[in-house]
Chains A and B, each alone.
Chain A
Amino acid sequence: MQTETTRTPSGIFVLGEMRNGHIHSVTLELTGKGRELAAARGCTVTTVLLGGEFKDDPADPIRYGADRILAVNHPSLEHFDQEIIAKVTAHLIETEKPEIVLAPATTAGRTYLPAVAALVNTGLTADCTGLDIDPETGLLLQTRPAIGGNVMATIKTPNHRPQMSTVRPRTFRIPDPEGRTGEVLHPPVPEHLFSSRIRNDGMEYLEEQGANIQDLDVVISGGKGLKRPESFRLLQELADLLDGGVGASRPTVEAKWIPYPHQVGLSGKVVAPKLYMAVGISGAVQHLAGMQTAQTIVAVNKDPEAPIFRVADVALCGDLFDIVPRLIERIKKEKRS
């Protein structure tokens, strides 16, 4: 069997994410990661941008590591349509034959990438937190949390091409921009690929705080220890002071104290902010799986045996209705000085 090291490397595709004409930051994170992998493989990085009208310069990802941009503009790409984006992506993969495809594990990526994998008959590894090149075989090593995030599984795609991974936003850092050069290409795409059996029927943008907790540096989450739904206001006050958002444990969402978009954990969102604060959350496995990769974890709980303390950097054991207001006052004082 031919090993990857004997094969001619055929390049890395980074599938960008466009939101309302803008290049989403996850595109640059993945372009940076693609650059690292390309250095190990001795191949090129191509960032693919599919959208309606571009409001950002499609050349932007070049500064972050792309050698080429494949930009496709079409009115039918204005709104997310999983059928069109899957077909166009599969077409570009079949034409360009990349050996690796990295894509965002956003709701969009997690929707159309599995369809692409089925269309081009290859594997797909979801939510990778680590990507490396195996020095011996040249294969992509994809590491992802498994079984609730307490086990890490490393996965290979030995015989199928491309090797495809989705990666959650904020998993990798955006590299510092460099003065690099590259080209922006507009590949031809057959018109019939832009047809869809799905009709877009509008967007409803939710302004509500906290719906985007995956994109924030600070997440303050509450659990049943808050005793009543109104106590979330206290957490909101603290979150506002730190430009953060409010998260919640599953039991509080099930009790309808706070809407589902705030739920952190296995059955909710996985967050990895700079600071995660768990207030009145005991720390069920299901919750820990959604936050234990945060950079710093602060836990407030009255039970000294609460499992949440085992994953915390700072454990504040006491009455949250005493501790949180004191912390708020202290931060306000700090901001005034």
Chain B
Amino acid sequence: MKIAVLVKQVPDTDEVKMDPEKGTMVREGVGAIMNPLDMNALEAALALKRGAGDGEVTVLSMGPPQTEEALREAIALGADKALLLTDRAFAGADTWATSRVLAEAIRKTGPFDLILAGEKATDGETGQVGPEVAAMLDLPFSTYVSALERISPAEIRVRRTIEEGYQYQILSFPCLLTVLSDLNEPSMPTLAGKKKARRFSLETAGNEALDLPKEELGLSGSPTRVVRISYPKITRNTEHFSGSHLDEGIERVVALLKEQALL
């Protein structure tokens, strides 16, 4: 069973602090991690490979050269192969242009029976790359997968967590799935895994390998453009209540509830 896992390197949001004056995020000195949901995708890939008795797990990522760290982490966790798609021409890509590169890389390195990815990344939070890649490759896909079971050599049954509960779907391979954190518990890298990852030679490819038209790459190939960034200051005039004034605070909450017709 050949499985590809799409990973993204993201800022470690646990390290992000708020600037109390400006109300903005302080991102300087913040480390980078593998997108947490991609860890669940990788864990699922490794479990499916174990269940199949044979197979190969390839992790793919598009990003700047330092994305290598996330791929090495994936190797330490048990991935067999890693491909870093890096090229100055890829920089500034929106979800469409990112998906274009990932889809082409999958087309060139595949075929894969299954492609897995986290439902969304903690930085962009769009959740769009998985479905876009699937559509570009004309693969059946499913999203919000919180449980999966390979029910036959050719089919996988997934549980999607949606607003009203769970929806179950059956897909045949090849297909693409994006997963949620309750799918599994990502394991920790072993010492042997870490050792292997340090020495592992990652494959790197730029656009000379993919050969996509230049006008479809990166910022210039992106249909969407960020035209403005603003920092909305949280303007709430906080009323503080403590100690003997808590009763007043409770009255204030009740008044607010009545104001909004919630009580």
Of A114, A158, A261, the contact of B128 (CB 8 Å cutoff): A114
User: Judging by beta carbons under 8 Å apart, are B224 and A156 in contact?
Assistant: yes
Would you list which residues of chain A between 194 and 212 have a CB under 8 Å from chain B? 196-206, 211-212
Of B95, B124, B131, B249, the contact of A111 (CB 8 Å cutoff): B131
Collect the chain B residues with CB atoms within 8 Å of residue A54's CB: none
User: Judging by beta carbons under 8 Å apart, are A126 and B249 in contact?
Assistant: no
A115 at the interface (CB under 8 A from B): yes
CA gap between A211 and B164 in the complex, in Å:
8
Number of interface residues, chain B, beta carbon within 8 A = 89
B140 at the interface (CB under 8 A from A): yes
User: Judging by beta carbons under 8 Å apart, are A155 and B224 in contact?
Assistant: yes
User: Judging by beta carbons under 8 Å apart, are B242 and A152 in contact?
Assistant: no
Interface code A151-192, partner B: CB below 8 Å = 1, 0 otherwise? Answer: 111111111100000000000000000000000000000000
Least CB distance from A109 to B in Å reads: 10
Number of interface residues, chain A, beta carbon within 8 A = 96
B253 at the interface (CB under 8 A from A): yes
CA gap between A211 and B17 in the complex, in Å:
29
Collect the chain A residues with CB atoms within 8 Å of residue B130's CB: 114
B16 at the interface (CB under 8 A from A): yes
Interface code A282-306, partner B: CB below 8 Å = 1, 0 otherwise? Answer: 0011101000100111100000100
User: Judging by beta carbons under 8 Å apart, are A108 and B239 in contact?
Assistant: no
User: Judging by beta carbons under 8 Å apart, are B238 and A118 in contact?
Assistant: no
Q: Which residue of B has the minimal Cβ distance to A19?
A: B164
User: Judging by beta carbons under 8 Å apart, are B25 and A200 in contact?
Assistant: no
Of B129, B167, B238, B263, the contact of A312 (CB 8 Å cutoff): B238
CA gap between A178 and B135 in the complex, in Å:
39
The stretch from B43-51, B203-211, B254-262 touching chain A is: B254-262
A3 at the interface (CB under 8 A from B): no
CA gap between A297 and B232 in the complex, in Å:
17
Collect the chain B residues with CB atoms within 8 Å of residue A274's CB: 260, 262
User: Judging by beta carbons under 8 Å apart, are B246 and A316 in contact?
Assistant: yes
Of B169, B229, B241, the contact of A152 (CB 8 Å cutoff): B229
Of A122, A142, A198, A311, the contact of B236 (CB 8 Å cutoff): A311
User: Judging by beta carbons under 8 Å apart, are A198 and B127 in contact?
Assistant: no
Collect the chain B residues with CB atoms within 8 Å of residue A117's CB: 95-96, 128, 132, 135
Top 5 closest pairs, chain A to chain B, by CB: A123-B223, A118-B135, A123-B224, A206-B165, A114-B131
Contacts beyond the supplied A154-B229, A197-B171: 10 A-B pairs with Cβ under 8 Å: A82-B143, A86-B135, A118-B132, A123-B223, A147-B27, A200-B169, A203-B164, A214-B163, A298-B253, A315-B241
29 contacts between A and B (CB under 8 A): A80-B167, A107-B143, A107-B144, A110-B128, A111-B131, A115-B131, A115-B135, A118-B136, A122-B96, A123-B94, A124-B126, A126-B126, A127-B125, A150-B25, A153-B229, A196-B140, A204-B168, A212-B164, A214-B163, A217-B260, A260-B146, A267-B37, A274-B260, A285-B17, A292-B234, A310-B234, A314-B249, A316-B249, A327-B253
